[in-house]
Amino acid sequence: MLPTFSPASLAALFAVLFLLALAPNLSVLIVTTRAATAGFRQGAAAAVGIVVATLAYILAAIFGLMIVADMRPEARHVLRLIAAAWLVWNGIGRIQKAAKAPLASLPVTHRTAASFTMGFLLTILNVRALVFYVALLPAFVDPGAMSLGKTLVVLGVAAAALGVAKLSYAAASAGGRVVPSVGVGKALNVIAGALVAATGFMLATGRFIRLD
């Protein structure tokens, strides 16, 4: 049991990660393309690859934040402001590019291992994702109070949020349907951008959504 974890805070983390995972980007394109061209199973395999790669980045971000927690307060304050500014910039950028659909040339395959590898590699090669989670997670976790149990809980929440979002896309796209529509995709990107920017403002003002 982890009695220090608030269900409301865990729900907030899940909601933010879920909405960010729904926003159309390269990972959504991978899942929907695989599902539309080869069926739900291939889309799901790509989704699992994406989730595994993302969890690796989140784990690395948590370890990095634990190191930052041992720095002097002044250094932590400067890094927090840098992270906040980066999140605001990232969020505004998402809103400005909300109507721009992600583009990629993906190979056609009906092999589950290939679909998983495609999702994993195209996600793990996006190193900016590590920077993103290093900046985002401090709004939800206290790096200085992280333990193995808390780390596993955060990873579990992230896996559930990303998994539900990506598998929903795989199910909706199976059979060749185009998901999401242009209008819905734009709205989701605007929501994601607003969430990221709001998180940046919270970090800048010292307001957090802690998990304990």
Q: Mind listing the pLDDT tens digit for each residue in 142-193?
A: 887 888 888 999 999 999 999 999 999 999 988 777 677 778 888 988 999 9
pLDDT score recorded for residue 102: 64
Neighbours of 62 (CB within 10 A): 19
In a domain, 212, yes or no: no
Residue 2 counted as domain residue: no
Question: What pLDDT does 103 receive?
Answer: 57
Residue 74 lies in a domain: yes
Q: What's the total number of domains in the chain?
A: 1
With the C-alpha atoms ordered 61, 66, 72, 77, is the resulting torsion angle positive or negative?
Answer: positive
Residue-level pLDDT at 107: 59
Which residue positions in the chain have pLDDT lower than 70? 1-5, 101-110, 178, 207-212
Is 188 among the domain residues?
yes
Predicted pLDDT of residue 101: 63
Provide the pLDDT for residue 209. Answer: 62
Residue 91 belongs to a domain:
yes
- Kindly state whether residue 38 falls inside one of the protein's structural domains: yes
What domain range includes position 79? 7-205
Residue 25's pLDDT is 86
Residue 33, domain member (yes or no): yes
Residue 87 forms part of a structural domain? yes
Q: Note the pLDDT of residue 3.
A: 40
